[in-house]
Structure 1
Amino acid sequence: MSAFIAGFSLGLSLILAIGSQNAFVLKQGLKRHHVFAVCFVCALSDALLISAGVAGFGTIVQQFPTIETFARYGGALFLTVYALLSFRSAFTQKHAIQTKDQPTTSLVRTISIALAFTWLNPHVYLDTVVLLGSISTQYQPHHFVFGAGAVCASFFFFLSLGYGARLLAPVFEKPRSWQILEALIGVIMLAIAYSLVTG
């Protein structure tokens, strides 16, 4: 039980910070567009990476730095494009009550974006595969219980964020709130893209 609690606590602390992935999940939750699919894809991706780390694949990532380099520059490019789209949305769309009046992005495209936010982010590899993987060795022979705790934390966080976002719906009935959110997301994306490029 102590290994599970430790894994849950550490896993939760690593994903609490507002990042590109969390901002996307929050936005989808506010719009109520494919919320479960987005939350599930993000959490499942984390689960796969955490499992790989606990199974010992963190050393592989460290031995092949090209994986991190690809994720770094690919992620920076993706985040920059998404930031520009957010800025365009903030300043050009009317932002009527989006949960009812705006067209919904297709499920396939939405899932693709969610996957990109996860797999093109080198910080995800460092947090899940390397960090959680290395810490799990301290809980031998219960390292998989530690990993299970981290996986549960990921599912708990993303589902809470996605479905809890609707509590903010009254605030986002105002078009100005959506404009501020889109602009804020754009700033976050650009800041993270910059940090990826500059190391």
Structure 2
Amino acid sequence: MDPAPSVVVMPAAALSGYLTALSLIVAIGAQNAFVLRQGIRREHVLPVVAVCAVADALLIAAGIAGLGALVTENPAVLTVTRYAGAAFLLVLAVGAARRARRPERLDPATEGPASLGAVLTTCLALTFLNPHVYLDTVVLLGSLAHQHDPGAWVFGAGAVLASITWFTALGFGATYLRPVFARPRAWQVLDIVIAVVMATLAVTLLL
């Protein structure tokens, strides 16, 4: 049997997985806004990046393994997640809006560090209480992966690599913006943007 087709299919599947996942992940969302803020603060960046990447890897693997069909057949799961996620996003939106009202407290040197447990809890909630995460990773990427059989798992590996690349670049690249955010006004603008993004996403989930 000629091995050439497999040799060609595997890299193509990996590249397709990488580009597809990257196009889904890069979109502005609550998770990206949170990673960006932690990166600017230089606060627990590595654990946050690791949690986001590992969560994506698990969800992508679950989708390729067949969990996508289970999710689509049980819409009640997404409904519960939708309302819980919307409530959580609204809480975060209110918190960001309250921070923005007092810009003199937005300097990380005076605001005080958040505990690792609190940061990771927020990160996990933003990841797993967002029904779009399941639709994008488990359902969409899972189904697209099988269009590249026998390279479905290679497609998944490319998608996981895209997640690792993006969150690493976002989290650690954000540290270069720190000079800009030496001014409280810059933190005020960022928190206003975060509040608007999270409130918009919450309303979108509810509607």
TM-score (norm 2): 0.93
Report if aligned partners of 1:95, 1:179 keep a CA contact under 8 Å in 2: no
1:145 has 2:145 as partner? no
What residue number does 2:50 align with? 40
Deviation at 1:63, TM superposition (A): 0.7
What residue number does 2:32 align with? 22
1:82 has 2:92 as partner? yes
1:7 has 2:41 as partner? no
Structure 2: distance between partners of 1:90 and 1:3: 44
Structure 1: distance between partners of 2:147 and 2:194: 37
Deviation at 1:167, TM superposition (A): 1.3
1:120 has 2:129 as partner? yes
1:162 has 2:167 as partner? no
Structure 2: distance between partners of 1:138 and 1:16: 23
What residue number does 1:193 align with? 202
Moved over 6 A (4+): none
Report if aligned partners of 2:99, 2:191 keep a CA contact under 8 Å in 1: yes
Deviation at 1:92, TM superposition (A): 2.5
Structure showing greater Rg: 2
Which range moved further: 100-109 or 189-198?
100-109
1:64 has 2:96 as partner? no
Structure 2: distance between partners of 1:193 and 1:169: 28
Aligned-pair identity in percent equals 49
Which range moved further: 87-96 or 27-36?
87-96
Deviation at 1:97, TM superposition (A): 3.6
Structure 2: distance between partners of 1:97 and 1:163: 19
Matches within 5 A, 1:96-111: 97-98=107-108, 100-111=109-120
Q: What residue ranges of structure 1 are gaps of 5+ in the alignment?
A: none
Structure 1: distance between partners of 2:22 and 2:158: 9
Deviation at 1:101, TM superposition (A): 3.9
1:165 maps to amino acid = A
Report if aligned partners of 1:54, 1:132 keep a CA contact under 8 Å in 2: yes
Report if aligned partners of 2:48, 2:120 keep a CA contact under 8 Å in 1: yes
C-alpha RMSD over aligned residues: 1.0
Deviation at 1:33, TM superposition (A): 0.5
1:180 pairs, out of 183, 186, 189, with 189
Deviation at 1:107, TM superposition (A): 0.5
Q: What residue ranges of structure 2 are gaps of 5+ in the alignment?
A: 1-10
TM-score (norm 1): 0.96
Q: Output one character per residue of 1:103-139: Cα deviation in whole Å (capped at 9) or x when no partner.
A: 1111011000000000000000000000001111111
